[in-house]
Amino acid sequence: MQSSANPKSQIPNPQSRRVIVAIGGGIAAYKVCELVSTLFKSGVEVRVILTKSAQEFVTPLTLATLSRHQAYTDDYFCQPIYFRPLHIELGEWADLIVIAPLTANTLAKLAYGMADNLLTNTVLASTCPVLLAPAMNTDMWEQVAVQRNWRQLLTDKRFHGIETGSGLLACDRIGAGRMAEPAEICVYIQSLLHTQGKRDLAGKQILISAGGTQEYLDPVRFIGNPSTGKMGLGLAQAALHRGAKVILVHCPASWDVPLGVEGIEVVSADQMQHVMLERLANADITVMSAAVADIKPQEYSTEKLPKRSLPENLPLAPVPDIVAELGKRKQPHQSLIGFAAQTGDIITPAREKLQRKQLDAIVANPIDKTDSGFGSDNNQAVFLDKQGREVEIPACSKLEMAHYLFDFLVGNW
Segment 314-319 long-range contacts (CB within 8 Å, at least 24 positions apart):
314/217, 318/294, 319/213, 319/215, 319/268, 319/269, 319/270, 319/292, 319/293, 319/294, 319/295
Is residue 78 domain-shared with residue 154, that is, in the same domain? yes
Residues 261 and 185 occupy one common structural domain: no
pLDDT tens per residue across span 239-289: 999 999 999 999 999 999 998 999 999 999 999 999 999 999 999 999 999
Q: Is the pLDDT of residue 81 over 70?
A: no
3-state secondary structure of 125: coil
- CA gap 9, 233 in Å, rounded: 26
Q: Which pLDDT belongs to residue 6?
A: 42
Q: Do 141 and 215 have their domain in common? A: no
Average pLDDT over residues 214-234: 95
Q: Please indicate, yes or no, whether residues 191 and 264 belong to a single structural domain of this protein.
A: no
Q: Which of 195, 225, 257 is the last residue before a domain boundary?
A: 195
In this prediction, residue 254 carries a pLDDT of 92
Number of domains in the chain: 2
Residue from 9, 52, 58, 51 nearest 30 by CA = 58
Predicted structure pTM score: 0.91
Final residue belonging to a domain, choices 195, 230, 261? 195
Q: List, as residue ranges, the binding site for CTP.
A: 294, 304, 320-323, 339, 353, 357
pLDDT at 22 over 60: yes
What is the average pLDDT score of the chain?
Answer: 92
Domain that holds residue 38: 18-195
pLDDT single digits (tens) 113-139: 999 999 999 999 999 999 999 999 888
For residues 365-388, average pLDDT? 88
Q: Any idea what the CATH number is for the domain that residue 245 is in?
A: 3.40.50.10300
Q: Is the pLDDT of residue 1 over 60?
A: no
Residues annotated catalytic, as ranges:
171
Does residue 282 share a domain with residue 163? no
* 54 and 158 fall within a common domain: yes
pLDDT in tens, 89-110: 999 999 999 999 999 999 999 9
Residues 225 and 295 in one domain: yes
- 12 domain-assigned: no
pLDDT band of residue 15 (cuts 50, 70, 90) is low
102 and 165 co-located in one domain: yes
Read off the pLDDT of each residue in 26-54 and give the average, rounded to a whole number. 96
pLDDT confidence band for 3 (50 / 70 / 90): very low
* Same-domain check for residues 130 and 245: no
DSSP characters over 251-284? -S-SSPPPTT-EEEE--SHHHHHHHHHHHHTT-S
Please tell me the distance from the alpha carbon of residue 339 to that of residue 337, in angstroms, as a whole number: 7
Statement to judge: residues 170 and 212 lie in one domain: no
Q: Binding-site residues, please?
A: 294, 304, 320-323, 339, 353, 357
Question: Are 109 and 249 in the same domain?
Answer: no
